[in-house]
Amino acid sequence: MHPQINNKMKSTPLTEKHIALGAKMAEFAGYNMPISYATISEEHNAVRRSMGVFDVSHMGEFIVRGKDALAFLQSATSNDVSKLKPGEIQYSCMPNKKGGIVDDLLVYRLDDAPEMIVEGEQSFMLVVNASNEIKDWRWLKRLARGFEVKMQNISARTGLIAIQGPKVVEALKKLTDIDLGSIGYYSFRRGKFAGCKNVIISATGYTGSGGFEIYAKNKDIAKIWDKVFKVGEKYDIKPCGLGARDTLRLEMGYCLYGNDIDDKTSPLEAGLGWITKLGKAADFPSKAKFLKQKAEGVKRRLVGFVLDERRVPRHGYEIESRRGAKIGVVTSGTHSITLDKPIGTGYVKIKHAEPGTKILIVVGGKKLEAVVTKIPFVTPGV
């Protein structure tokens, strides 16, 4: 057995390719995943300046279809699914009944679903976090009682790669007859890509640098990976691991489930009020709690902050006021490669959440000065 192949972990259809490329592999959400290939800095800069490719086949995909599919999703998710037209995507979350979040997710309005999924009217695809796949599936199955819907978990047979960066449209146009430039942000098309049929080309990502996420059958995803790297050679394309995925998403202030949001954080506290449509007719878990929270105001809020020192803030570090009072906790932190300084996010008491507020990050016996700043930390597309 290859030393980097661990039978206790799941593999993606691309695991062997990562190992052949010399990737540093580690467990993530139960999968053997690439953390980095060369350096995180090189991979990060490739995405910001040209193009990079991530294997995200570990993500979960569910199909929801049937007469009550829309009504069901309206009652299960916080955003207004009725606003979606076929070919459009929505960022949303599934609140629990205690005012927290089961998971954040993407909702795809399919309707003319490709063969790789199902045929049927009023069809949706939900894309959930890998670490929450089983939990989410069980949660949705419980909520589906009483609705005329059919659900399929297609995670195990669906491959997914994220091709991100400003040069992606130019590079990938050789692989498809679909006009990639016409696919609007948070929209998708399906068709032939890299010689493979029924591929979903989605103008989404987790980096802020543009590009696409490509959904295909497991048996096709390796072929697609190879062809993408072939056309990307002249653009100095790089394979990218979870390390760069994290630095890129944090520069944009995108939430990471398990760090910035979880089953005890409210979407209103997390700055996700824009995906929490309290005015929609459908009831959903914790809607009454959120309405009350909105009326009274939240007591804490997720903020971004920047440090001038070189120490990187880490999840769980305490945050103090300038006077030494405990006011919150760090949820995510990294060294911003674009800004060349440490950045982080954390929940602080509401009176300390205003941009420009000076705070202290407690690192062991030291207290590092930081300043609350607006998110994103970098301009999208930079």
pLDDT per residue as tens digits for the range 181-239: 999 999 999 999 999 999 999 999 999 999 999 999 999 999 999 999 999 999 999 99
pLDDT exceeds cutoff 50 at 265: yes
User: Which residue has tokens 């080309």?
Assistant: 201
Q: Which residue did the predictor score with more confidence, 7 or 298?
A: 298
What's the pLDDT tens digit per position in 3-54?
455 557 999 999 999 999 999 999 999 999 999 999 999 999 999 999 999 9
Residues 253, 304 contacting (CB under 8 angstroms): yes
Average pLDDT, the chain: 95
Q: What is the pLDDT of residue 3?
A: 42
Q: What is the pLDDT of residue 250?
A: 98
Nearest in space to 153 (alpha carbons), one of 171, 140, 166? 140
Token pair belonging to 107: 């909702």
Burial class, 254, CB count within 10 angstroms (exposed 0-12 / middle 13-18 / buried 19+): buried
Q: What is the pLDDT of residue 217?
A: 97
Which sign does the torsion angle of CA 106, 110, 115, 119 carry?
Answer: positive
Q: What is the pLDDT of residue 8?
A: 79
**Dihedral (C-alpha) 133, 111, 161, 130: value to the nearest 10 degrees?**
-10
Residues 176, 183 contacting (CB under 8 angstroms): no
Give bridge partners of residue 217 from the DSSP assignment: 158
For each of the domains in the chain, give its residue range(s) and CATH number, in order of start. 60-155 (3.30.70.1400), 299-373 (2.40.30.110)
Q: What is the pLDDT of residue 112?
A: 62
Tell me the pTM. 0.95
Cα–Cα distance between 96 and 102 in angstroms, integer? 6
Beta-strand runs (E) in the chain: 24-28, 31-36, 52-55, 60-65, 89-95, 101-109, 123-128, 150-153, 158-164, 188-193, 196-202, 211-217, 238-240, 300-307, 318-320, 326-336, 341-349, 358-363, 366-373
pLDDT grade, residue 121 (50/70/90)? low
Cα–Cα distance between 58 and 72 in angstroms, integer? 25
Q: What are phi and psi of 273, to 5 degrees?
A: -60, -30
Query: Going by C-beta distance under 8 Å and a sequence separation of 6 or more, which residues neighbour residue 119?
Result: 113
CA 178 to chain centroid: 25
**Ordered alpha helix ranges (H), 218-328:** 218-231, 242-251, 287-296
